[in-house]
Structure 1
Amino acid sequence: MPVTVPLSSRRPGTSRRRRVASRAATVTAVVTASLGVLTGAELHGSSDSRETRLEAAPDLLAAAPNTDQFAATEPDRFTAFTPPEAQRPQAVPEPVLWEQHRIATEAARPRTVRPVGGVLTSHFGQRWGAMHAGLDFGDPIGAPIAAVTDGVVVEAGPASGFGLWIRVRQDDGTIGVYGHVDDILAEVGQQVRAGDRIATVGNRGYSTGPHLHYEVHHPAAGPIDPLPWLAARGIDVLRSPA
């Protein structure tokens, strides 16, 4: 009975051809990736010439990994390209600088100030048999009067007993009254900020000498003592002004 011997399914040289094909595919992938990086550099303003990149191509081919070891090696890593303009110091636009300055100045400014530089001469309460509903500050005629808080002028002009006055709706909803003023420097509806000059000290109305009479009126309680109200906002009017 004849014996059948199975022939090998592989032809001579098949394994070698596969290794060569695998290596060729790997080289193609590396070259393609490298050319992609070079193309990206050209698009982003790289100073390398085209001739220099072409001369570097044989080196890239020589650096291709061996096919038999490719699976065991770490994949190539490419350095990200940074365009030259991104490496230059970036100047801040002038409008942005001005806005930053404005914000810093606004955050640093006081929200409550002393109304005048003169000393406290009379307190809130009963005086000469009548209610004295504010604080008196002695100061020369013409001395500046400042808005105590941010607010809106709601009245400015003649007033019984005060000669002339200014009334300001303050930032907390109270009304600040400035009486016996000599000159009015603000008008009704004007927005004022703490420290803005709104009038000058006078001696008008029922007054025994030049001074500012300052009151604080609460919407629900009426006139309240300005001394603790100012103290709660960081202003100690009992201390002599600097």
Structure 2
Amino acid sequence: MPVTVPLSRLRGTGRYRSVATRAAAVTAVVGATLTALAATDPHATHELAGDSVANAAQIDGAFTAFTPREAQMPQVVPQPVLDFLDGLHAEQARPKTVRPVAGPLTSGFGIRWGAMHAGIDFGEGFGAPIHAITDGTVIEAGPASGFGLWVRVLQDDGTIGVYGHMQDILVQVGQQLRAGDILATVGSRGYSTGPHLHYEVHTGGGAPVDPLPYLAGRGMDVAMSTD
């Protein structure tokens, strides 16, 4: 025999189910909102469940485990790098202006015996080494009228240094020089009354300048003998 249910009961059941569905949806929205707020609230970390804290600790442990072994060892600078830095420091510390010979200054720049003496002279014995005063490049080396033999050097600041009256030339055109390198020996060739070194400085325009203030500007007082 068919069972009949009063319409009023069905309607009540529908209303009940509709209310329950709406309540479940509201609960889900509220739960999601609270979860989002907890994620942005620095004080909400204490509300994490115990298994969540354990999972976070495991993640940190896994990250630490992947740190390269080399990064966990004492860090040292490789020897080639140390050697390079030592060389760099030595280059920076070396003098860039050097006295050419040990002998005293014997003649200055200016008119002498009615003619222009365009450089300075250093008295020194035959065969004494002549040192490059600055870094530079040899642009001429050989015979020269009045000097007998000379060496011209394009110096590190663009000026030209002229060395004259030497006995022997020990460099060649194109050779790179560092301040202090030996380029020749002292002689008395050309118009000379005795062994000495004649040195001139010419600017980019070719005009000679007094080497004394030029060298003083580079920190060297050549008027003082090293004897």
Is the pair's TM-score, using the shorter chain for normalization, greater than 0.5?
A: yes
What residue is the counterpart of 1:106 in the other structure? 91
> Once the two structures are aligned, what percentage of the paired residues are identical?
62
Provide the secondary structure at the position in 1 that maps to 2:202.
strand
What residue is the counterpart of 2:203 in the other structure? 218
What residue is the counterpart of 1:236 in the other structure? 221
Relative to structure 1, the CA distance from residue 238 to residue 43 in structure 2 (aligned partners, 3 Å threshold; closer, same or farther) is closer
RMSD (Å) for aligned C-alpha atoms: 2.4
Instruction: Report matched runs for 1:1-242 at 5 Å.
Output: 26-44=49-67, 85-220=70-205, 222-242=207-227
Provide the secondary structure at the position in 1 that maps to 2:92.
helix
After superposition, give the CA deviation of every residue in 1:81-101 in whole Å (9 maximum; x if it has no partner): xx6643432222121111101
Relative to structure 1, the CA distance from residue 213 to residue 88 in structure 2 (aligned partners, 3 Å threshold; closer, same or farther) is same
Would you tell me which structure has more helix in proportion to its own residues?
Answer: 2
1 CA distance for matches of 2:114 and 2:139? 30
Q: What stretches of structure 2 of length at least 5 have no aligned partner?
A: 1-19, 21-46
1 CA distance for matches of 2:151 and 2:118? 16
TM-score with structure 2 setting the length: 0.74
Relative to structure 1, the CA distance from residue 173 to residue 85 in structure 2 (aligned partners, 3 Å threshold; closer, same or farther) is closer
Query: Larger Cα Rg: Structure 1 or Structure 2?
Result: 2
The Cα shift of 1:202 comes to 1.0
2 CA distance for matches of 1:181 and 1:127? 21
After superposition, give the CA deviation of every residue in 1:49-82 in whole Å (9 maximum; x if it has no partner): xxxxxxxxxxxxxxxxxxxxxxxxxxxxxxxxxx
Provide the secondary structure at the position in 2 that maps to 1:115.
coil
Give the AA of the match of 2:119.
Answer: G
TM-score with structure 1 setting the length: 0.70
1 CA distance for matches of 2:199 and 2:66? 72
Relative to structure 1, the CA distance from residue 38 to residue 218 in structure 2 (aligned partners, 3 Å threshold; closer, same or farther) is closer
What residue is the counterpart of 1:77 in the other structure? none
1 CA distance for matches of 2:189 and 2:170? 16
Give the AA of the match of 1:33.
Answer: A
Q: What stretches of structure 1 of length at least 5 have no aligned partner?
A: 1-8, 10-23, 45-82
After superposition, give the CA deviation of every residue in 1:178-200 in whole Å (9 maximum; x if it has no partner): 00111111110111111111111
Q: Which runs of 4 or more aligned residues in structure 1 lie more than 4 Å from their structure 2 counterparts after TM superposition?
A: 41-44
Shifted more, 32-41 versus 134-143: the winner is: 32-41
Relative to structure 1, the CA distance from residue 237 to residue 40 in structure 2 (aligned partners, 3 Å threshold; closer, same or farther) is closer
The Cα shift of 1:139 comes to 0.6
